[in-house]
Amino acid sequence: MIRYIQKEWEKNSLRVILVIAFVLRLISVFFSKGYGMHDDHFLIIESSQSWVDGYDYNYWLPWNQGSNPIPQGHSFFYIGIHYLIFLFFKFIGIIDPNIKMLLIRFFHAVYSLLVISLSYKITTKLSNKKNADIVGLIISFLWMMPFFSVRNLVEMVAIPPLLASIWIIIKTDKPSLKQYLISGLIGGLAFSIRYQTGLFLGGMGLVLLYQKQFKQAIVYGISVIISISIFQGGIDMFIWHKPFAELTEYVRYNIANKNDYLSKPWYFYILLLLGVFVPPYSIMLFLGFFNTKKKYLLVFVPTLIFLIFHSYFPNKQERFIFSVLPLYLLLGVIGINNFIENRKNNKVYKSIYKYSFIFFLIINFILLSFATTTYSKKARVEAMYYLYKKQAKGDILYEGTNKDGSKLLPQFYSGKWRHIYHIDNENNYNTYENMPDSVKPNFKYFLFYGNDNLKARTKRVENIFGKIDLEYKSAPGFVDWLLYTINPNNSNDTIFIYSPIQKQTIIKNK
């Protein structure tokens, strides 16, 4: 087996890398269920599936907003693709939420292989096969990549068209105007998936102008605009009867609310990059990245502009820079290896690099073993899927603390769209306590978030709605539990499902 792998590696290392990457991502397809964060589920899956079901979960569509509809600032391109996929699932009779998401994760796993293939090809063209092998392998088994590669994150989905836009230009020594045209059209797709990639595309245009490639810059810029006009402006024209309605609102909203979210210091992303690739190897990559600033302008400048903007803008979340992570990595690998090779007495540098890389591999594989199989937000997903299996009907009361109870429940997994009434253990009880029995909601299920003072909380609900009994307990997964234990702000606690007293069967989710 080892000889066979060595033979295949010598023959076609990229193929071996892709097989390794696919196996890791396939593990995540089956075991890394749930969703990573709010945006990769509620902004994509809940919205598109609700449209298929004749409902508008987020009330984004103008005909569901009343007399004065307002765009919400979300690109409908990627969401629309999921709408078509779920529409097809409905047509062929796939209705189980878990099966649908298994297939969605599989589609993304296959699609993510383009990230590895294109990164490998770009590195080979800019440098050599040795560096390309390193880049391909790191992207394949970097601890976070299998997990995020099967998620519905626009930051990840935008990577392949971004890389393809570069590859089409650099793959030949003298690219034709046709190549710049195709590059711009594909680059525009990245923008329609994730607006911020426009910073990268604009950076490429600036480099072409700086290099006095004026024809190429004009063709590239026009083709980007054409692509955006079709896939962004065209969709908005169809829905809102005016082009770029969602894009305009997105820009307005983010400028107006730039300080309302997670504001972090300007060096936040530097620390993130140093942490993701594990120091001291990550420090070498960081220095290597800046060692490429003169030779590889078409890749370096757009990546740097992207990083600088996100470092400057107050609202910072880790995933915001994922779109340029492969480009940062490949430039870092090329830069640090070029630096080492150009030293006269490079034995010391090679030794430091070797042991730093070994340490990175050790830490990476430890993290990889957890991340690749993480069932994220398990408690919330399993609670809703339990209701799907029960074919539960009727309204739900969701009780939790101010901090945790406001966390949305993924109704996609329940198979139904209903109003979920929310109360917490500090407010809103009086709304129901003072309500006449004739108009009081007839709740079929009562969901309690977390077990803090659970007995007292259930007792208070019983005083309003009558006797209830525990029917199902949905516990968080190991990683969710660990993150919650380290920092309770992660809000991944157990959900207890109660029902009126006549239902007394207790089932525990282990």
Q: Rounded to 5 degrees, what angle do the CA atoms 317, 322, 326 make?
A: 155
- Rg of the chain over CA atoms, in angstroms? 25
Any idea which of 143-147, 318-322, 344-348, 487-491 has the lowest mean pLDDT? 487-491
Residue that wins the pLDDT comparison between 258 and 145: 145
Share of the chain above pLDDT 70, in %: 95
Phi, psi dihedrals of residue 508, rounded to the nearest 5°: -105, 135
Do 388 and 502 reside in the same domain of the chain? yes
Which residues, including other chains, have CB under 8 Å from residue 211's CB and lie 6 or more apart? 297
The predicted structure's pLDDT at residue 426: 59
Alpha helix (H) residue ranges in 242-296:
245-256, 268-276, 281-290
The predicted structure's pLDDT at residue 310: 95
Strands (E), 358-494: 396-400, 420-424, 445-449, 468-474
Residue that wins the pLDDT comparison between 60 and 421: 60
The predicted structure's pLDDT at residue 481: 78
Contact (CB, 8 A) for 464 and 472: no
Distance CA 448, CA 260 (A): 29
Do 329 and 305 reside in the same domain of the chain? yes
The predicted structure's pLDDT at residue 486: 66
Final residue before a domain boundary, out of 371, 405, 437: 371
The predicted structure's pLDDT at residue 452: 84
At residue 364, what is the residue type? N
Do 288 and 423 reside in the same domain of the chain? no
Do 308 and 417 reside in the same domain of the chain? no
The predicted structure's pLDDT at residue 402: 46
Do 420 and 300 reside in the same domain of the chain? no
Share of the chain above pLDDT 90, in %: 73
Domain, as residue range, for 495? 378-509
pLDDT mean over 143-162? 97
Final residue before a domain boundary, out of 371, 405, 435: 371
| Number of domains the chain is built from | 2
Phi, psi dihedrals of residue 471, rounded to the nearest 5°: -115, -35
Distance CA 350, CA 307 (A): 29
Do 345 and 423 reside in the same domain of the chain? no
pLDDT mean over 419-445? 79
The predicted structure's pLDDT at residue 510: 46
Q: How confident is the model at residue 487 (pLDDT cuts 50, 70, 90)?
A: low
Distance CA 166, CA 34 (A): 33
Three-state secondary structure call for residue 471: strand
Do 154 and 173 reside in the same domain of the chain? yes
**pLDDT 10s digits, 101-134:** 999 999 999 999 999 999 999 999 999 999 999 9
**pLDDT 10s digits, 433-483:** 778 877 888 889 999 988 888 998 899 889 888 899 999 999 998 888 777
Any idea which of 101-115, 162-176, 392-406 has the lowest mean pLDDT? 392-406
Do 448 and 383 reside in the same domain of the chain? yes
The predicted structure's pLDDT at residue 154: 97
Q: How confident is the model at residue 14 (pLDDT cuts 50, 70, 90)?
A: very high
Q: Is the pLDDT of residue 401 over 70?
A: no
Do 224 and 312 reside in the same domain of the chain? yes
Do 109 and 27 reside in the same domain of the chain? yes
pLDDT mean over 210-239? 97
CA 349 to chain centre: 36
Strands (E), 43-156: none
Do 251 and 292 reside in the same domain of the chain? yes
Do 389 and 363 reside in the same domain of the chain? no
**pLDDT 10s digits, 339-377:** 998 887 788 899 999 999 999 999 999 999 999 999 999
Q: For all residues of the chain together, what is the average pLDDT?
A: 91
Three-state secondary structure call for residue 469: strand
Q: Is the pLDDT of residue 255 over 50?
A: yes
Final residue before a domain boundary, out of 314, 340, 371: 371
Question: Cα dist. 477→42, 130, 303, 357, 383 in Å?
Answer: 20, 39, 36, 31, 13
Q: Is the pLDDT of residue 85 over 90?
A: yes
The predicted structure's pLDDT at residue 393: 84
